[in-house]
Amino acid sequence: MHFIAVDYWIMVLSLILMAASLAMYFIKDLIHAVIVYGAYTVTMALVWLLMNTPDLAITEAAAGICTTVLMMVAIFRTSRKEE
């Protein structure tokens, strides 16, 4: 296998993605979990950018932030702590 610098960046970002996914599962405070989800979408947008798909990167950034806001409002209308 022949790796270039971009591949190592994608590996590092993938580790961050895995950590964020696991954190979202284990965090009990839902607002904190939604904030981690926002970090997840921004990291995912960076991965799309490094994979030469700026089209998906813009869509991921915009849609990710929008769903983060909507989830935040949904938590605001219901309960904050996980049962």
Partner 1 sequence: MRDYILKRMAAVILGFISMYGFYVILHGHISPGGSFAGGIIVGLSFIAFSTIYGIQDGSAKLPEKILVWVESYGTLWYGLMGLVGIVKGAPFLANKLAGVDLGTPGTLSSGGLISLIGLGVGIRVASTMVTLFFTLMEEEA
Site residues, partner 1 (CB under 8 A): 54-55, 57-59, 62-63, 65-66, 69-70, 73-74, 77
For partner 1, the closer CB: 18 or 52: 52
Helix (H, G, I), strand (E, B) or coil at 77: helix
For partner 1, the closer CB: 12 or 69: 69
Residue 59 CB, nearest approach to partner 1 (Å) = 4
Q: How would you classify residue 52: left for phi > 0, otherwise alpha for psi between -120 and 50, otherwise beta?
A: left
User: Tokens standing for 57?
Assistant: 């990167």
Residue 35 CB, nearest approach to partner 1 (Å) = 16
For partner 1, the closer CB: 15 or 51: 51
Residue 36 CA to residue 17 CA, distance in Å, equals: 10
Half-sphere exposure of 55 (CA within 13 A, CB side): 1
